[in-house]
Structure 1
Amino acid sequence: MGWGDRGVQIKTPEQIDVMRKAGLVVGRTLQLLRESVRPGITTGELDAIAEDSIRSAGATPSFKGYSHPPFPASICASVNDEVVHGIPGERVLAEGDIISIDCGAIVDGWHGDAATTVAVGEVPHDVRELMRVTEEALWHGIAAARLGGRVTDISHAVESHVRSQPHPTGGSYGILEEYVGHGIGSEMHQPPNVPNYGRPGRGPKLVRGLALAVEPMITLASNETTLLPDEWTVGTVDGSWAAHFEHTFTLTPEGAWVLTALDGGEERLQQLGVPFGGH
């Protein structure tokens, strides 16, 4: 997709308020799933919990039936060396695994989209560090967004934070380049793309009414990926483990507002010295 402004959807404040409702459904569902992850539970059981949570809130799962082949579940559940788009099923989580859970919900035609990576019990230090770096990179990306800035200001901030962090084994983290964040609104995926790497000052302007899903996908080694035979699950070529965090956010005249964070992102943004623009 090109860097032009064509196709970029600008929402009214009222439409953003509906996206906040969808974002809260996603945020509460992910909170419930984090609490539900344990050794012995299956990814399919997590999916059932998610679908019940979304539908009980009067929302519709964004993912179910999406694209071709139609995605068969309400969450993506990607374990260990699976980066994104894992299909939930009979896989049993074990002590020491990590699982990326990606969740989307629709309220009155407007979408929310977020993801988190959860440790199953105790995990090795290098994996814990991978999760920390990836989540921090997400927040640094959001914190770099300003009205009048450009999309790749976010990209540059994500990459800069990842590159600044020491690797536990002396190597370097892999930043996925084929899979990126995106615009979001009346569709789950819209222009513009939001890469997790690159030089600042490029791409469409960051303006009021633009909503973006920022989602760093980081590995412990190579960033090369492969598509598994199910035509959805994306895994690492070298088998290195991966983490994935995502939030949907927008900018108001007051600052950033993270629509899928239960507190609107206020705590994390304040820690980074960034104005909070929610209400």
Structure 2
Amino acid sequence: MTNIELATLDEIPQTGNVQSNALYASRLQFNRNKFTLIIVEKKQITLGNLVGSGVFEKVFQGTVKDLEEPSPMPVVIKMLRSNASSQQITEFFQEAKFMSHFRHTHVLRLLSICIDKDSPWLILELIEVDLLTYLRESRTFQPSDSQALRLQDLLAMCEDVARDCCYLEKLHFVHRDLACRNCLISSRNRENRIVKLGNFGLTRDIYKNQYYRTRGGLFPVRWMASESLVDGIFTSQSDVWAFAVLMWEIMSLGEQPYSTRNDFQVIEYVLSEGKLPQSLNYPPTLYELMQH
């Protein structure tokens, strides 16, 4: 296909030496020539409905033709606004670089990238909705409704995310921002539903009210382990802490962790070895696992 170009990771433009805030690669152990990014032209893309918007980014549904098949392919298009800084553009390309490494059923797939004159566009597989929204929407269902979430459904979601985390750990990646807002579901249909980890690096803009701002940037303190709060240390073990909080989110159908405390109080509470309470949907054995 003459209108599709392959670019290796080293050929993607850079505008500075900025480390991604949401996904930290502690050690890259990849064949850099093995994974390439498909470059598509803007004329191949048709923008549809706006599905998300923040101060620095916009997310659309749309289609791309001549990507993996001749017919238009439904996708999600993520783009920076025209007023994005050079640092934000660099982090945008960093996200593309990181995602180009991932090949896993439970990790959102980056299909291609469009190098627009104003800003780059990321072309991602189409996913219905983020997990946080899905969980909160499910609160309106009656137990007799076919779409009502059962305990087995919630446990399956936890297992899907655990598979994501295991995969990233094997690649020596530390995510640093595990939370339901950063997971997506492939379908509302129980038989086809898969939870995927996605949004590596850009969700802080849309969900900025769930991050605590300091001079060093925005931090998801309600999902952070004590060593991350005190010393800024992020490891696979701090991801395990965040995964436990994510489990609590799932079992509580999307409640905000430590909802009765402000950010300062959350930090003090966690540093004093405080833990999240057991929610109504939490089986005792699962809650015990979460506390570990």
TM > 0.5: no
Q: Which has the higher helix share?
A: 2
TM-score between both structures, scaled by the size of structure 1: 0.30
Q: Using structure 2 for the length normalisation, give the TM-score.
A: 0.29
In our comparison, the structure showing a higher alpha carbon Rg is 2
